[in-house]
A and B are shown apart, each in its own frame.
Chain A
Amino acid sequence: MMSNKHTTRTTWAAAGLCLGLLASAAQADAVVIVHPSNATALDDEQISKIFLGQTKTFAGGGEAVPVDQKEGAAREDFGNKVLKKNQAQLKALWARQIFTGGAKPPKELSGDDEVLKFVAATPGAIGYVEAGKANSSVKVVKR
């Protein structure tokens, strides 16, 4: 799935193939959440490294436990905005890791509620949910 920016830039060449993508991309607005006790400052680059299996720790040294969503608009929005990759690109990146003994992909949970519960209960957890779903049980680090 392309980001809005990229979709706009390539629509002339994609000849209308992006119409469906535009519609679904516009529906999501994911926010990144951590456990309330986590005081680490995080930018997109650091979040990407954690979710792409390039590092297993936060900048402060604590072990990071990333949690992904199995599917849905929030997953696509997070991939586009923070990881800056569409779902096919991410799958190809993980195929290299999985089949060469590299990093293991984050645990996948079904939907915002499961992610909220997991992050609220796990000190090193980092995940993402639909913006309106975040509550006081977690800390939002990236909107």
Chain B
Amino acid sequence: MRKLPPKLPTPPTSRTRSLLKPLSLAIGLLGASGLSQAVDFSYSGFGNVTLGKVVSAGGIDIGCPDGAQWNCPCLIADFSHGSVYEQKWSLKPESRIGLQGNWTFTPDLSFTAQGVARHAAQKAKADLEWAYLSYNLTPQLTVQLGRKRLPLFFYSDYQDVSYAYSWVRVPPDVYGWAVVNYNGANLTYRGDVAGWAVKSTVYAGSEHTKKNPIAKLETASPSDINWDQMWGVDLELNRDWFTARLALNKSKQQQFRDGLQTSPDPATGTHSPQTFAALSFVIDKDNWLLRSEISYIDRSPARGSYRGRMIGAGYRFDKFTPMVTVSQLKAYNNAFTTLAEKDAMTSFSLRYDLSDTSSIKAQYDRSRWDLLDGNDVRRKLVTLSYDFVF
């Protein structure tokens, strides 16, 4: 078991279905108003077939992931969805396919829904990841209402679309948190300010998850995790080869197991606060690539706090893009006072652009969880992936 309650994830459920009712109603009303005659439908999708295996394991077994459910030693490739590789080749942990439909009612009003099917956490399932109405108030301002992925960090909201980045996956220790969606509203500004391409979003909402996959990594007994009163803001600046992004998210969390509140301590209240902040820099110049991010997560006093960092460098040799990436998550017991664990990963990845819509990747990861008491957990993972969009 990790010293800290790790970060906790999300399975969309009845909340998702209930969200669809008002959206369906809205679409129905649009249809009734005559707009349905002009509805333009399009679809697109993405997917990846990913094969992986833990090729080396050392250190101690801390029971995360749970040895009763997985044949460990194992490596967790995606905390949020419960993706775990064992010491045998498997396609199941990370392979997935996403299908997106877009209904355009007018040039400024549209509805988008995206479902993703996967076999993470040892169970095949299809989740509704996105379902939102989008309306352009002006050429610069767009308001959206519905269900979306949560943009905590630079790659968070498109980490399922592995074709869109160079690695097989985003660094798992830094990107593995309990909740990956929210139901609510957002307002986005997109425009040119003094030569910079500026994109900024403010959003608010909540997410309730049942049988959360992150909690399943610790025990088969299901946990429900809720993030309420959530709001966030991000700002992304781009100019030619340089991109910077700053993001902030605040919410109040609660966790239940077998119907009993396990976090925060019920004696202290029903919810506890948490703050996520991240700063990213991306450079893509003359075929050189640099991807970096630092993150700060304060979940005190109810839960642990964390500092994350990631930096990757690569070079594009025509269709080949090799990269070396180092990531680290430092876990603290409380309010950054006592360091409890250091999780680090070094990744060597190679992407080859097979066509304009597909790529193949190979990646070798070395992971080490340093428990700071003389013990550690060491894993090496090899993965091969075929990624595509359509």
Contact = CB atoms under 8 A, between A and B. Distances in A.
Interface stretch (A25-33, A34-42, A99-107, A133-141): A99-107
Interface in B300-340: 317-320
Interface of B: 44, 46, 98, 100, 112, 114, 130, 132, 134, 139-140, 144, 148-149, 151, 157-158, 160-161, 163-165, 190-192, 195, 197, 199, 238-240, 286-287, 317-320, 353, 355-357, 359, 389
B356 A88 contact: yes
A33 B149 CA distance: 38
25 contacts: A2-B318, A17-B318, A17-B319, A18-B318, A45-B240, A49-B192, A49-B197, A56-B140, A56-B191, A57-B140, A88-B356, A91-B357, A92-B163, A92-B164, A95-B158, A95-B161, A95-B164, A96-B161, A98-B100, A99-B44, A99-B46, A99-B164, A101-B112, A101-B130, A101-B148
Interface residue tally of chain A, by bracket? 35 or more
A24 interface: no
A63 to B, nearest CB: 6
A30 B305 CA distance: 53
A56 B190 contact: yes
Nearest to A11: B318
Interface string A49-66: 100111111010001000
Contacts of A87: 356
Contacts, number: 94
Contact of A88 (B140, B165, B353): B353
B319 A88 contact: yes
Of listed A9, A18, A45, A91, residue having the most chain B CB within 10 A: A91
A10 B287 CA distance: 9
B100 A54 contact: no
A121 interface: no
A-B pairs with the 4 shortest C-beta distances? A54-B197, A56-B139, A95-B164, A88-B353
